Amino acid sequence: MKKSTAIFITFLLTNIVFGQSDTLFNKTMDEIFITATRTERKIGNVAVPVSIINKKTIQLSGSLRLNDILQEQTGFLITGGTGSNAVGGGIFGNGIQLQGLSPDHTLILLDGEPLIGRQGGVMDLSRFAVGNIRKIETVKGPSSSLYGSDAMGGVINIITESAIGKSFTAGIRSGSFFNSDLYTSGNSKRDKLSIFYFINRNSSNGYELDKTSPEKTQESFSNNTGQLKFVYQLDPRTKITTNSRLFYGLQKSRYAINSRELNVSGDGRTYDYLVNPVITHRFNNSFQTSLRLLTSGYSFTQQLDSISNKKEYYYDRFKQSFYRVENQTDFSWNANNTLTTGGGFTLQTVNTTRYSKKQQQVMWHAFAQHEWRGVKNLILISGLRYDYNTAFASRLSPKLAAKYSLNSKIKLLASYGAGFKAPDFRQLYLNFTNNAAEGYSIFGSNEFSLPFLQQQQNLGFISTILPAANLITELSPETSQGFNVGAQMIPLSPINIEINVFRNDINNLINYIPVATNVNGTSVFSYINVNRAFTQGAELNISYKVKDLQISTGYQFLLTADKDLLEKIKNQEVYGRDNVNGPARLMNRSDYSGLLNRSKHMVNFRIFWEKNDNKLDASLRFIYRSRFGVTDKDGNGFANMKEEFAKGMLQANTTIGYRINKSFRIQVGINNLLNQIDARNLPNLPGTNWFTGIHYSFKK
C-alpha cells in the first residue's frame, strides 16, 4: 500500500512539473473534429471534453489492437475479461470505462456508424486492428442528444484511412507467446474512383499466468480483419462512399471441469461484417445533406466437447443483425448560426440459443442541434434528440454546451447532457440455464413468469421463491444527467493544460437479482431497475514539447457510489467484516469504496522522441491504476476487506524505431516491462512480452 501511494504521489508531482494532452504531436486548435457535433469543426471550437489519438501516436506506441492504445489515455480504463474462453457467460473481452461508467454505457463507432456485437454488454475492443486507423476521436460525458442509446458515458469514433492518392504499405511483426501480426493496405485512384483496402491477421499461442491451474489463462487465437472503401466523386458537389468491413476470429478453449486435468475442449468463432454506403450532396457552401445506409451482422458460436468420448458438453450460439437508414442535413444561414438536423429508422434482430425465440426491435429517431456565435468569443450549442423503441417508452435527450475564450491563452468550457441506455436484448429476453456451471438460470424481464416459478416449485425443482420475485416488472431505460466544467490553458507556448471536472447521476440502473433458489442450491435470477448511482471526479492533462521531445502526463481522480447503499450506511443499516473470519461490525462512510472495478486514481506518463529527419524514434510510457474492488465476500454490497480488492498496478511499455530508408522502418518494443501480473483480476494482461517488426511503405 505504501509503495502504491509513493508511486501515485510521484506521478502527481510529475503532472505538475511536466504534463500531457491526449496525443503525441499534440492536437492543435486547427485540427478537425467531427464526433462531438456530427459536423466538421476545428477542435478549438468544440465545447465538450474531447480528445484525438492520431496515427503517429499509434505507430510510435507499437499498438496492434484498439484496447492497446486506449488503455494509455487519460480517463480510459480497460476492463479485463476472458473473451470467448468464458464458458456460458462472464465478461467477454476487453471493454472500456469512461468517467467511471461501465463498458455498456460507451458507444463505439466506426467512421461514424455504431458497431454491434456486445456480449454481456461488453464490446470486445481486441476485435479491432489499428493499422487502418487514421485517428480516434473520443467524447466524454453523456452524448445521447446526438447518438441515442449506449452513449451515457461517451463516444469513441474509430476513423479509418481515406481513399486518397496512391500508396502501399505492408508489415510483419512477431513477439512473445508466438504472437504474430501481418498486414497490408493501399490506396488507388483512377478518374473519379478511389479505393482503399486493408487486410490484417493477428494470432498467438496464448499464455499462462497461473501455473497451479491446468488451464491456460489465454488459449491460442487468431483474428482476421479486412476493410474495403470506395469513394466515387459523381460531380463536384456529390460524393458516394461505400465502406465495408469483415472480421473472423477463432479462439481455442480447453477446460478442467470438476477435474484437475483438462477434460473439455473446443473453440469459439466470431464473425462480424458491415456495409455502409453514404451519399453526400453539397448544394452550396451553407447547405449540405447526406443519406447513410448501414447493414451489419455479428455472430458468436462456442462448442465444447468431452475430450474422452467426443460427446457435446456445451453449445452456445448468438447472432445479431442491424439495419439503419439515416439522413443528416446541415444548414448555415449566416456566420453566427448553424443548424444540424437528422433522423432515421433502425431494425435490430437477435437469434440465440439463450432466447426462447428470435427477437427484434424497431427504432425511430430524430435530432436537431443549433450552434450560435452571436457574442464575441462565445460558442453556444444546444441539441435535442427523440428516440422511440418498440421495447420501451420514448426518450427525449437534451444537451447544452458553451465555450468562452477569455483571451488567446485561456478558454472555459461547460456542458450539460442527458444520456440513456435502452434495456438490451439479454435484459429483456434472456431465457438461459447454464448446465455447464451447476445449473443457475437467468430470465430477462419479458421472459420472467411468477406462475412458472410456482409450477417449478410444485414439481420439486425450486426450493424457495424469494420476495424479490414480486418486484420484477417491465424494464425502463437507464438514464443519466451529466455535467462537465473545464478549462484549456496555454501558460507558455510549449505547455498545454486541460482540466475537466465531471459529475454523472444515473437512475434506473439495471441489475440482475436472485428471485428463487433451486433444490441444488443454485439461484434463479432476473433483471430489475434497482440502482441509483453517481460517478464524479476530475481530469488533468498537461503537455510539454520542445524540439524532438514530448513529455506528457494525465491524471484522473474518480469517486463512485451506489446512492441507495450510501443512504443505508448513513442510517447505520450496513454491516461488514475487516477480514473473512473476523466479527461483523457496523460500516462507516469511510469504509465505503464505491462501485466495483473502479480505481480512485489513474495516472499516465509518456515520453516520445523522434528526430527531425524521422530516422530514429523512441517511446517510454507508464500507466498506473490504484487498487480497486473486485468482489463482495461479506454480503454488504461493496468491497471493504483486503481480500476483496485487487492491488494497484504500474505498467511500463517502451519502443525504439529506426527508418532504414525512405520505404523501410523497423521497430522493437517491450510491453509490461515491470512484469506486472494479476491472473485473477486482470487476465488480459500477460507478463513481460517483447516484439519486433518491419514495415514497408510507398506513397506517390
User: What cell was used for 254?
Assistant: 480447453
CA–CA distances in Å: residue 538 to residues 100, 503, 558: 11, 9, 7
Q: How large is the C-alpha radius of gyration of the chain?
A: 25
**What are the extents of the domains in the chain?**
22-699
pLDDT of amino acid 224: 98
Residues 172, 202: contact at Cβ < 8 Å? no
Amino acid at 659: R
Beta bridge partners of 235: 238
User: DSSP state, 583?
Assistant: P
pLDDT at 29: 54
Mean pLDDT, the chain, as a whole number?
Answer: 89
Check if the beta carbon of residue 105 is closer than 8 Å to that of residue 150: yes
Contacts of 12 (CB under 8 A, 6+ apart): 555, 603
Across-strand partners of 643?
none
Residue 83 CA neighbour count, 13 Å, CB half: 27
Closest CA to 464 of 527, 529, 514, 528: 514
Does position 82 have pLDDT exceeding 60, yes or no?
Answer: no
**DSSP assigned state of 648:** P
- Torsion angle of C-alpha atoms 58, 60, 64, 66, degrees rounded to 10: -20
Q: What is the reported pLDDT for 33?
A: 77
Q: Are 503 and 447 in contact (CB under 8 A)?
A: no
Specify the amino acid at residue 308: S
Phi, psi of 448 (to 5 degrees): -70, 140
Burial class for 582, CB neighbours closer than 10 Å (0-12, 13-18, 19+): exposed
The three cell numbers locating residue 214: 491446468
Matching residue, cell 513481460: 688
Read off the pLDDT of each residue in 568-594 and give the average, rounded to a whole number.
Answer: 92
- For residue 584, which phi and psi values (nearest 5 degrees)? -75, 145
SS (H, E, C) 44-63: HHCCCCEEEEEHHHHHHHCC
For residue 464, count other CB atoms closer than 10 A to its CB: 14
- Among 390, 369, 370, CA closest to 474: 390
80-93: average pLDDT? 42
E strands present in 519-637: 523-546, 549-562, 575-577, 584-586, 601-610, 616-625, 628-629
Place of cell 451529466: 482
Report the alpha-carbon distance of residue 49 to residue 68 in Å, rounded: 22
Euclidean distance between CA atoms 621 and 282, whole angstroms: 44
Sequence-ordered alpha helix ranges (H) in 394-503: 425-429, 450-458
Cα–Cα separations (whole angstroms), residue 246 to 163, 429, 461, 632:
18, 28, 45, 40
- Model pLDDT for residues 337-377, shown as the tens digit of each residue: 999 999 999 999 999 998 989 999 999 999 999 999 989 99
pLDDT tens, residue by residue, 489-511: 998 888 999 999 999 999 998 88
- pLDDT, average across residues 423-433: 89
Q: How far apart are CA 602 and CA 599, in angstroms?
A: 7
Residue 27 pLDDT: 47
What phi and psi, each to the nearest 5 degrees, are found at residue 306?
A: -65, 130
- Region of poorest pLDDT, from 142-146, 273-277, 399-403: 142-146
Instruction: Check: CB of residue 270 under 8 Å from CB of residue 247.
Output: yes
Grouping H, G, I as helix, E, B as strand and the rest as coil, residue 374 is coil
CB distance 281 to 288 below 8 Å:
yes
Quick one: CA torsion of 205, 211, 214, 219, rounded to 10 degrees?
A: -20
Per the CB < 8 A criterion, the answer to whether 497 and 414 are in contact is no
Give helix then strand counts, H and E, for the chain: 7, 38
Provide mean pLDDT across the span 86-91.
35
Rounded CA-CA distance 564/533 in Å is: 8
Tell me: pLDDT of 19 over 50: no
Contacts of 564 (CB under 8 A, 6+ apart): 531, 532
Give the per-residue pLDDT at 11.
42
**Between the CA of residue 174 and those of 178, 202, 247, 690, 692, what are the distances in Å?**
7, 10, 21, 9, 6
- Res. 5 pLDDT band, cuts 50 70 90: very low
Note the pLDDT of residue 646. 92
613 band by pLDDT with thresholds 50, 70 and 90: confident
The kind and range of the H/E element at 488 are strand 478-489
- What share of the chain in percent tops pLDDT 90? 67
447: Cα separation from own chain's centroid: 29
Q: What is the mean pLDDT of residues 429-437?
A: 78
More confident residue, 122 or 667: 667
Backbone angles phi, psi at 428, to 5 degrees: -95, -45
pLDDT band at 612 (very low <50, low <70, confident <90, very high): confident
Q: Quickly state the pLDDT bin for 221 (edges 50, 70, 90).
A: very high
Which residues are CB-neighbours of 588 under 8 A, at least 6 positions away?
Answer: 569
Percent of the chain with pLDDT over 70: 93
pLDDT surpasses 60 at 617: yes
Provide the pLDDT for residue 338.
Answer: 94
> Residues 160-185, buried b or exposed e (16+ Cβ, 10 A)?
bbebeeebebebebebbbebbbbbeb
Q: Hey, what amino acid is at 2?
A: K
Cα maximum dimension of the chain? 79
pLDDT grade for 92, boundaries at 50, 70 and 90:
low
* Contact of 684 with 81, CB cutoff 8 Å: yes
Angle at 497 between CA 495 and CA 501, to 5 degrees: 175
- The number of residues in the chain equals 700
Residue 23 has pLDDT above 60, yes or no: no
Q: Write phi, then psi, for 337 (nearest 5 degrees).
A: -135, 125
State residue 689 phi and psi, 5-degree precision.
-140, 145
Mean pLDDT of 533-559: 94
Second-level CATH architecture of 22-699 = Beta Barrel (2.40)
Query: How much is the pLDDT for 530?
Result: 79
Window from 80-94, 190-204, 254-268 with minimum mean pLDDT: 80-94
Tell whether the model's pLDDT for residue 625 goes beyond 60.
Answer: yes
pLDDT for res 436 = 60
Digit-coded pLDDT (tens) for 452-471: 999 988 998 899 998 888 88
**Tens-place pLDDT, residues 100-158:** 998 989 999 999 999 999 888 888 999 999 999 999 999 999 999 999 988 999 999 99
pLDDT bin (cut points 50, 70, 90) of residue 163 is: confident
Q: Is the pLDDT of residue 12 over 60?
A: no
In this predicted structure, what is the pLDDT of residue 632?
Answer: 87
Q: Which of 25-39, 43-57, 293-307, 362-376 has the lowest mean pLDDT?
A: 25-39
E strands present in 2-153: 32-33, 41-42, 50-54, 76-79, 95-98, 106-110, 113-114, 133-140
Question: Average pLDDT for residues 535-562, to the nearest whole number?
Answer: 94
